[in-house]
A and B are shown apart, each in its own frame.
Chain A
Amino acid sequence: MLDVQDLQKIYTGRHRNVEALRNLTFHIAAGELVCLVGPSGCGKTTLLKCMAGLLTPTSGEVRLDGRPVDGPPPGMAVVFQEYGRSLFAWMNVRDNVALPLRRKKLGKARERELVDHALEVVGLADAHQAYPWQLSGGMQQRVAIARAVAYEPKVLLMDEPFAAVDAQTRADLEDLIRRLWRELGVTVLFVTHDIDEAVYLGQRTLILSTSPTVVQEDLTIDLPDERDQLHTRSSTRFAELRAHVYEQIQRAKRHSGDVNGTQVADRMPQAAPTKAQTEVVGSE
């Protein structure tokens, strides 16, 4: 379904080059829900943007259904962390959800049906006419999710979508994602820096190293399929997995794609994550 092969991304600057991604290879099967977790500034957003076709990798490639991704592919939807900036402030909720459907030329009736349904499943059936800025952060992110749902994607990429909402809303939204995933049969890649979230949500968790980034571990989350905030999170297995991921992340903070931190010839000496780099790489 979604293949990432030897992906490398180097940002070329005026004074220095920053290698954000070193060598990433992994595979996501159709219908999977995979979480991607890693220390702050490890290039998660860069990876996601490469996969979404929004950034061109320096080398290696991303394939969707066997076809190389060289621009935003159809059938893929992205939900960004910055809900406030990814919605059109000048459109009401309904138009925000409907806009991407226009060029699909589905006909008015089908379009209306999709929008109604999408807003219904995210729990915003009453908010059609509201403007995004009239809603709370969590509700705004629901609009962005509804927009993705209405688009009927095969793959849904989510870039730390809940990093900026409060804890209770976050739990609701996590359950919403699991429900949508099971109901729609969509493939989901969920990027997060939150360890609990990475364990709770997915079937698999990919743990990334610090920049230059490699996959540090591909961990199967063997929790039962039926999950809920109360019981899943208090189970022993959850605690074990959580502890494991935590350790891995702590290790990841010390290790990067450079083996044991030795300098590699093509890497500029000052390439440690600095402010400039975290700005391009992500906003954790």
Chain B
Amino acid sequence: MSHHDLTPVMAPAAGPAIGSGSASGRRRPVPTAALRGLAGLAGLVAVLEVLPHVGLVSADYLPPASETGRALWQLLAEDPFWTALGDTLTGWALGLAIAVGAGVVAGVVIGSVPLLRAATASTIEFLRPIPSVALIPVAVLMYGTDLRSKLLLVVYASFWQVLVQVLAGMQDVDPVADDTARSYRLGRWGRVRHVMWPTALPYVMTGVRLAATVALVLAVTAELVIGSPGLGRELAVAQSSGAVPQVYALVLVTGLLGVAINLVARAVERRALHWHQSNRRRGAEG
């Protein structure tokens, strides 16, 4: 759910077609932007501190930032918090791994056989938009608060992100490259391996990044609504026991977790793309 998200029909590296490169050409020196960003975050903290003090918002609903900070500090000192964090991350990582594995395999198989692609298109288009929260009652009945409940939601939601990107990537193959491969009598598997997969790789990385964010959302949702152990359940408990500063502290933690996942996913994506492009260039020169 990043703002770099693209519809699967678009190339992952491509920004808006109109406006090629204009944004990067205007990039300013980093320190200024970073300082301004820090000022913005400091401003947010200040506003959150001042609002309840001047009585614009009741401190019962929105405790001052200092109190939320204290609550966060206490949380960090407690074992249950770390266990919950571990539970959330376990569900996230396991679900993401399964979704990526299944999505890539299914995508490569479907994408490399035109008949299969044509035959599955309608089914994918139908199943993909089904909101994974529709599965919550099913998960509760079948697995209760077990880890499998969380995995069901996480995998269902993130699988489609990967699959659709892999399929888009496999379809984006340069016809010239494919014709070249054919004329050198590469078999189907050879073409998949040397032409389609390298083309699809950037899309796959985008899919993984999207899936990583979606997986976190669904992991926390499962904890919050079903009550699987994790940060979401801690949050629900804090809320129902009226521990408002803890609620905010936990919201902040999930947000920071989201930011961290986003940053890592983007870094990995950029790394992979960079490797991909420099490799391609080397291939072209050599």
Contacts from A to B (Cβ < 8 Å): 14, 85, 89, 279
Determine if B18 and A14 form an interchain contact, defined as CB atoms under 8 angstroms apart: no
Determine if A85 and B18 form an interchain contact, defined as CB atoms under 8 angstroms apart: yes
A14 to B27, CA, bound (A): 12
Contacts from B to A (Cβ < 8 Å): 17-20, 25, 29
Question: What are 7 inter-chain pairs, A to B, with CB distance below 8 A?
Answer: A14-B29, A85-B18, A85-B19, A85-B20, A89-B17, A89-B18, A279-B25
| Least distance between A252 CB and chain B CB atoms (Å) | 27
* Chain A contacts for B19, CB-based, 8 A: 85
Q: Which residue of B lies closest to A15 (CB)?
A: B29
A89 to B19, CA, bound (A): 11
Q: Which residue of A lies closest to B18 (CB)?
A: A89
Q: Which residue of A lies closest to B25 (CB)?
A: A279
| Least distance between B177 CB and chain A CB atoms (Å) | 25
* Chain B contacts for A85, CB-based, 8 A: 18-20
* Chain A contacts for B18, CB-based, 8 A: 85, 89
Q: Which residue of A lies closest to B29 (CB)?
A: A14
Q: Is the interface of B mostly helix, strand, loop or mixed?
A: loop
Q: Which residue of A lies closest to B21 (CB)?
A: A279
Q: Which residue of A lies closest to B16 (CB)?
A: A89
| Least distance between A133 CB and chain B CB atoms (Å) | 9
The 5 closest A-B pairs by CB, nearest first: A89-B18, A14-B29, A85-B18, A279-B25, A85-B19
* Chain B contacts for A279, CB-based, 8 A: 25
Q: Which residue of B lies closest to A87 (CB)?
A: B18
| Least distance between B20 CB and chain A CB atoms (Å) | 8
A95 to B204, CA, bound (A): 40
A85 to B18, CA, bound (A): 7
A279 to B26, CA, bound (A): 11
Q: Which residue of B lies closest to A88 (CB)?
A: B18
A230 to B20, CA, bound (A): 38
A85 to B22, CA, bound (A): 11
| Least distance between B77 CB and chain A CB atoms (Å) | 45
* Chain B contacts for A14, CB-based, 8 A: 29
A105 to B142, CA, bound (A): 69
Q: Which residue of B lies closest to A85 (CB)?
A: B18
| Least distance between B23 CB and chain A CB atoms (Å) | 14
Q: Which residue of B lies closest to A84 (CB)?
A: B18
Q: Which residue of A lies closest to B19 (CB)?
A: A85
| Least distance between A42 CB and chain B CB atoms (Å) | 20
* Chain B contacts for A89, CB-based, 8 A: 17-18
A89 to B25, CA, bound (A): 22
A14 to B18, CA, bound (A): 28
A104 to B29, CA, bound (A): 41
| Least distance between A136 CB and chain B CB atoms (Å) | 18
| Least distance between A213 CB and chain B CB atoms (Å) | 22
| Least distance between A131 CB and chain B CB atoms (Å) | 12
A14 to B29, CA, bound (A): 8
A238 to B172, CA, bound (A): 49
* Chain A contacts for B29, CB-based, 8 A: 14
Q: Which residue of B lies closest to A280 (CB)?
A: B25
* Chain A contacts for B17, CB-based, 8 A: 89
A14 to B20, CA, bound (A): 24
Q: Which residue of A lies closest to B22 (CB)?
A: A85
| Least distance between B271 CB and chain A CB atoms (Å) | 24
Q: Which residue of B lies closest to A90 (CB)?
A: B18
| Least distance between A282 CB and chain B CB atoms (Å) | 13
| Least distance between A49 CB and chain B CB atoms (Å) | 15
Residue from B18, B19, B20, B25 whose CB has the most chain A CB atoms within 10 Å: B18
A279 to B20, CA, bound (A): 13
A279 to B27, CA, bound (A): 13
A30 to B19, CA, bound (A): 35
| Least distance between A192 CB and chain B CB atoms (Å) | 23
| Least distance between A46 CB and chain B CB atoms (Å) | 15
| Least distance between A143 CB and chain B CB atoms (Å) | 15
A279 to B18, CA, bound (A): 18
Q: Which residue of A lies closest to B17 (CB)?
A: A89
A89 to B18, CA, bound (A): 8
A14 to B17, CA, bound (A): 29
Q: Which residue of B lies closest to A89 (CB)?
A: B18
Q: Which residue of A lies closest to B20 (CB)?
A: A85
* Chain A contacts for B20, CB-based, 8 A: 85
| Least distance between B34 CB and chain A CB atoms (Å) | 15
A85 to B25, CA, bound (A): 16
A214 to B19, CA, bound (A): 32
A265 to B179, CA, bound (A): 58
